[in-house]
Structure 1
């Protein structure tokens, strides 16, 4: 017996204009989409339940194609600095927080962004020492590719002027050669390894908190990378199995597996069968981020001609990691922000092609060029883009890249026009999880509070294209476009129900739209209380 959903609009997203008023679902799959009276007439013997949408609008279930689910939960649980706009405000918040923890205990906070502060001042050890010299402090940058710590934090980590930069990492130093407390990419691990272990009770709480927030924002699934950051990859995976139990919590989860733990995880792959959790691509980092000037560019940074960024692996090492993934018959997902990092990644997957029937994934692609787009067209690859980065990174990113590179920066429309598969994500906790913010950024290329035509406006997407990023685009990234991403017969009954039709509203009005229901496998995971 099945369920008849009716009483509102049904946006199938098979086309930009297709709208119906009813959907019939049986055994977790869509059977028919059409008018209420037609479905009632033809399936009356199979309908055991009718659910009225009361004027709401049903879309295919939104799926975030790139996030860190546990990290998002940590951001919700920890001190969040992402909205702080000055060093003064940051110090006040940290000083207040330090009052409530014992001396010697770490003060941890997430999401600082020096580009919001006057003179782009990084809160280094000297600033953080003004907050406390009796609490070690670690602040994670919004991009999660850098951290900063105070003098006590450096001492506990045994980092001094003689400490050598680790491979793929950078310790910032002052004019006398002393570390400033600001560390990029792999250098972060020098501090993180001395942090107290949180324990898996905390990890479970963070993941549960994250999942409830994802449901609240209308997500029916997500592609997440978490397994290499919490001490034991296998225990982290088992925590996912425990939290997403398939009964009380259903969430279509595709887990990227960091290459450093791939051997451990895939060795027991036969024991990792789960109806809502798949092991996805092997995750590799090729470079850092534009904010800290560690994204690897083919030409120097315009605001710092002394650097082109940093490669996490050499071109040869990256190819070898891809080669190892192919031995496991696995696709790869490579973090590439700079154009030279993308060149390294494309060369590796050209040399070692993905197994038949699978797609590689390239993540972020904030700086590209025409040659790279032409090469990407020839590959079975999906591009994970984060539209919200446009709102967060402009206008300061113009200084980093210079006028001549902007035409191929954050160039989502060019990618689609080249026929490339694009999937949409938030990279939460780096950006807000709200999909409507991502859709807004893709269409307007500005912050909601701003009033201008948008940064690099010719790269704007239509609303239909933006919605496809978070629906069929995410499905194509994991080669499930025949079962996910639309509302059509044979597709899984995963739906996001909004209070209003986005197509009837102006972009700034989208941010007032509420998620009414989140439905996975025809099961309501979230319903807004009236």
Structure 2
């Protein structure tokens, strides 16, 4: 018994431009493709349900290859500062939030970005103290590699003038050596350690809100990294199992496992691989560096706009290689966050010394490269997780960070594809908006919404087909599911993103006006407009 979907334009993604008008689904997999008449003749009485798509356009279900699902849910719950364009506006929002905050609560805000402010102001803790003198404040920068805190939070964490910078982090200080309240990378962890633990109810709320929002924007799945930040592996993974039950909620979640969460995962009796048809435990996640916004991405040469620094290496080369060795002992792949070229060099050196015998490793972001690094990547079984939307948000200020010569091989998506490297597409939500259509638009145009130019580094623009591949077959290849996900053809899962426009042929800016009509997972409509 099966379902006939018809009267649509299905893009198979097997070849550019290849379409069909109907599919027959049995037990959640595509059994037959063609047109309505052919499939009715072939399957006859086996067809127990028919769905008329009314001329809509159907794509293999979009999958975000790198995001933080619970973090995205938190953005929907907490004070969202990501669209703030003036320091004064941020101050007013914090003042209003403080009035809502009860005694003993922390004040949280997410997504501020000084590069959006005309004066690029970064608040000092004394200014935050004026807003919330008796309430600890923790404001996560958009990159999630830096945070602002007030004096109350510093005192709770025991951070003083005499506190040394932790390995892989920086406590920013004033001319007298006093902490300013700006904490980079692992320095922010010193404060996170004293923030009260979140409850199961909070994690469930954030996860549930996030997944429904992902359905709304057409995502059938995501490769997410959340298992280290919400009281450890078990508490977080239990909520994934509870929410994504395979009945009311069907969402294909591939969970990367932070290296510090791996021991607990093993104690709970889990290992890399499928847990349910909708939940998979993936590679060991390792951070090699920070981000360009806070100048913590680790570069081989100093930052052009601040020659005194080259960024932050989260691990020494020895420590990074020890983590690789641990993963290999468990026959596990790794997923390494590498934004700067020095961090990428460290990661490749470790991967070359500890090769993966089976499967594929992942390099996440890969924003700054050079010819030598590209050639080394080509010799390894690696997938590159790209976030096209970073082009729209990081330019033009990132050109000041990297300089005229280095920028030519940065955010170089076309170059990476040209060299035959396998790439997948994601958002890194909540850092960037989770909507895959925004990522596809950015990959094609390489400019912000509303800008009138030919794109930043226009030679790196992707074709619409290449851009959609990132979020379909690319995401499937990243987790060795390319023979069952990411295309619309016989034997593949019945996961579809249904839109009201043909995004391969319309003006790229019209992609932004395209509506998600349905999100279908396992032949089940999880969202309908």
TM-score (norm 1): 0.98
- Is structure 2 residue 430 aligned with structure 1 residue 429? yes
Q: Distance in 2 between matches of 1:497 and 1:373?
A: 36
User: What residue is the counterpart of 1:85 in the other structure?
Assistant: 85
Q: Deviations over 1:153-204 (max 9, x none)?
A: 2122211101111111110000000000000111111111111222111000
User: What residue is the counterpart of 2:102 in the other structure?
Assistant: 102
| Aligned partners of 1:172 and 1:181 also within 8 Å | yes
- Is structure 2 residue 433 aligned with structure 1 residue 440? no
Q: Aligned pair count? A: 527
Matches within 5 A, 1:224-303: 224-267=224-267, 268-269=269-270, 273-303=275-305
- Is structure 2 residue 144 aligned with structure 1 residue 144? yes
Q: Distance in 2 between matches of 1:291 and 1:134?
A: 30
| Aligned partners of 1:318 and 1:348 also within 8 Å | yes
SS in 1 for 2:211: helix
Q: Distance in 2 between matches of 1:5 and 1:129?
A: 59
Following superposition, the deviation at residue 506 of structure 1 comes to 0.6
User: What residue is the counterpart of 2:200 in the other structure?
Assistant: 200
User: What residue is the counterpart of 2:330 in the other structure?
Assistant: 328
Q: Distance in 2 between matches of 1:449 and 1:121?
A: 25
SS in 2 for 1:399: helix
Q: Distance in 2 between matches of 1:33 and 1:415?
A: 33
- Is structure 2 residue 2 aligned with structure 1 residue 2? yes
| Aligned partners of 2:157 and 2:191 also within 8 Å | yes
Following superposition, the deviation at residue 272 of structure 1 comes to 7.7
Following superposition, the deviation at residue 206 of structure 1 comes to 0.3
User: What residue is the counterpart of 2:477 in the other structure?
Assistant: 476
Q: Distance in 1 between matches of 2:308 and 2:120?
A: 18
User: What residue is the counterpart of 1:75 in the other structure?
Assistant: 75
Q: Distance in 2 between matches of 1:416 and 1:266?
A: 36
| Aligned partners of 2:444 and 2:464 also within 8 Å | yes
SS in 2 for 1:502: coil
User: What residue is the counterpart of 2:349 in the other structure?
Assistant: 347
| Aligned partners of 1:330 and 1:355 also within 8 Å | no
Q: Distance in 2 between matches of 1:49 and 1:127?
A: 62
Following superposition, the deviation at residue 503 of structure 1 comes to 2.0
User: What residue is the counterpart of 2:390 in the other structure?
Assistant: 389
Matches within 5 A, 1:351-370: 351-356=353-358, 358-370=359-371
User: What residue is the counterpart of 2:161 in the other structure?
Assistant: 161
Q: Distance in 1 between matches of 2:95 and 2:121?
A: 18
User: What residue is the counterpart of 2:465 in the other structure?
Assistant: 464
User: What residue is the counterpart of 1:216 in the other structure?
Assistant: 216
Q: Distance in 2 between matches of 1:279 and 1:102?
A: 38
SS in 1 for 2:234: helix
User: What residue is the counterpart of 1:316 in the other structure?
Assistant: 318
| Aligned partners of 2:519 and 2:528 also within 8 Å | yes
Following superposition, the deviation at residue 104 of structure 1 comes to 4.1
Q: Deviations over 1:59-91 (max 9, x none)?
A: 000000000000000001111000001110000
Q: Distance in 1 between matches of 2:294 and 2:275?
A: 39
